[in-house]
Amino acid sequence: MTDMINAGIVGASGYTGGELMRLLLNHPYVNIETATSRRLSGEAVSDTHKHLRGLVDIEFEDLSPEDIRGRCDVVFVAVPHGTAMNIVPELIDDNTKVIDLSADYRLKTSVFEQVYNMEHVDPRDAVFGLVELHPEVKDESFVANPGCYPTGAILSAAPLTAAKLLKMAIFDSKSGITGAGINPTMVSHYPNMAENVQAYKLTTHRHREEILQELNRLDNAFTDVNFTPHVVPSIRGILTTAHLFTKEKMSLEDVRGLYHEFYKNKPFVRVVDDIPSLSAVKGSNFCDIGFEVDANTGRVVVVSAIDNLVKGASGQAIQNMNLMCGFDETTGLRIAATSP
């Protein structure tokens, strides 16, 4: 019989915190021990996350890292970047595993400081928790969960990069608005959001560095990474269209063979024969990947679809937890999308 473990969620009032609880309810070996919020301490979790009514009956608490650590075997840190680095060092000890959903530990410290324009108060190495590329997660007690855009982008290009066939990549990504967190902005204001598509940070989005870091690990000669994000009037999901320019022209059969081989035994990547769409993955931990080869130019067009809150954040964090705690990778995560 497998022992139950106690999980804590720091920053549980936000979107990824709510999603962690929704997903952990399906986990047979996890008890949600504590959910922290500074603003909502003392209030029922289900007063904020109303979809959890009747399912989660704890109140938000405002706990110190020491108190959380004392009560939890595993802690998910789901607070904004720049703030996680003040919490994480006090959570880590020999008995507590920590998964940080923020960007604070994903990049090399020097790159982080440059990209995020802030000093890092806790420089330390962490494994980048994209399980499909980093199986060593299973030996770690602290993992940096990947960013939402990088998850879909990296998975779309990893097989060609690892085979040293990629020359240049352009990632054109469309995200639902929950990617921006709970705080409203002019971009998320309904009249600006509805029936609209907004491109932003055309050449300067910080996630480019994460995509570059991970693809460069697969092929240290590969650096030509281009990334442009868009926000679309959708609540969840990221659809990435990757325009991949290979060193030599490839046939569709060659590309298909490469992707199937690379992702065999990767339970949450589905290589499909048609074009992926968001409705087939929303609410699930799957990343769907499909492709065509442009007969005129040889460009390989790869489309990946994920749910930003699941495979792009909370589901992936639980996938990491499963491996770190010795559970099967899929435990509690074999959930179908909510299609249509």
Ligand X SMILES: NC(=O)C1=CN([C@@H]2O[C@H](COP(=O)(O)OP(=O)(O)OC[C@H]3O[C@@H](n4cnc5c(N)ncnc54)[C@H](OP(=O)(O)O)[C@@H]3O)[C@@H](O)[C@H]2O)C=CC1
CB of 49 to ligand X, least distance (A): 11
Residue 240 interacts with ligand X (CB under 6 A): yes or no: no
Q: Rounded to an integer, what distance in angstroms lies between the CA atom of residue 335 and that of residue 311?
A: 12
Contact of residue 229 among ligand X, ligand X2W, none (CB under 5-8 Å per partner type): ligand X2W
CB of 285 to ligand X2W, least distance (A): 16
The token pair at 309 is: 């809150």
- Give the residue among 287, 319, 290, 294 at the shortest CA–CA distance from 303: 290
Q: Rounded to an integer, what distance in angstroms lies between the CA atom of residue 63 and that of residue 34?
A: 9
CB of 45 to ligand X, least distance (A): 11
- According to DSSP, residue 147 is labeled P
How many residues sit close enough to ligand X to count as binding (CB under 6 A)? 28
b/e per residue 178-191 (b: at least 16 CB within 10 A): bbeeeeeeeebeee
The smaller minimum CB distance to ligand X, of residues 269 and 306, is found at 306
- According to DSSP, residue 61 is labeled B
The smaller minimum CB distance to ligand X2W, of residues 237 and 291, is found at 237
Q: Are 313 and 101 in contact (CB under 8 A)?
A: yes
CA distances from 307 to 19, 70, 176, 260, 316 (A): 11, 33, 9, 21, 10
The smaller minimum CB distance to ligand X2W, of residues 177 and 325, is found at 177
The token pair at 334 is: 């074999």
CB of 84 to ligand X2W, least distance (A): 10
Residue 34 interacts with ligand X (CB under 6 A): yes or no: no
Tell me, rounded to whole angstroms, the distance of Cα 243 from its chain centroid. Answer: 21
For ligand X, the binding residue among 99, 177, 193, 309 (CB under 6 A) is 309
Contact of residue 290 among ligand X, ligand X2W, none (CB under 5-8 Å per partner type): none
Q: Rounded to an integer, what distance in angstroms lies between the CA atom of residue 290 and that of residue 129?
A: 23
Residue 14 interacts with ligand X (CB under 6 A): yes or no: yes
CB of 146 to ligand X2W, least distance (A): 7
**Which residues, at least 6 apart from 60, have a Cβ–Cβ distance to it below 8 Å?**
12, 13, 35, 36, 37, 40, 41, 42, 43, 44, 45, 48
The smaller minimum CB distance to ligand X2W, of residues 133 and 177, is found at 177
Q: Rounded to an integer, what distance in angstroms lies between the CA atom of residue 98 and that of residue 203?
A: 33
**Where does this chain touch ligand X (CB under 6 A) — which range of 80-88, 118-126, 204-212, 215-223?**
80-88
Residue 283 interacts with ligand X (CB under 6 A): yes or no: no
Active-site entry in 72, 148, 287, 325: 148
For ligand X, the binding residue among 11, 152, 276, 283 (CB under 6 A) is 11
Residue 78 interacts with ligand X (CB under 6 A): yes or no: yes
Active site residue 148: yes
Task: Name residues contacting ligand X, limited to 161-190 (CB under 6 A).
Answer: 178-179, 181-183
Residue 79 interacts with ligand X (CB under 6 A): yes or no: yes
End-to-end alpha carbon distance in the chain: 37
The smaller minimum CB distance to ligand X2W, of residues 181 and 298, is found at 181
Q: Which residues bind ligand X2W (CB under 6 A)?
A: 102-103, 147-148, 175, 177, 179-180, 229, 231
Residue 112 identity (one-letter amino acid): F
For ligand X, the binding residue among 9, 21, 35, 40 (CB under 6 A) is 40
CA distances from 58 to 19, 27, 30, 187, 296 (A): 15, 17, 15, 33, 59
The residues annotated as belonging to the active site are 148
| Residues engaged in binding ligand X (CB under 6 A) | 11, 13-17, 37-40, 78-81, 83, 101-102, 147-148, 178-179, 181-183, 308-309, 312-313
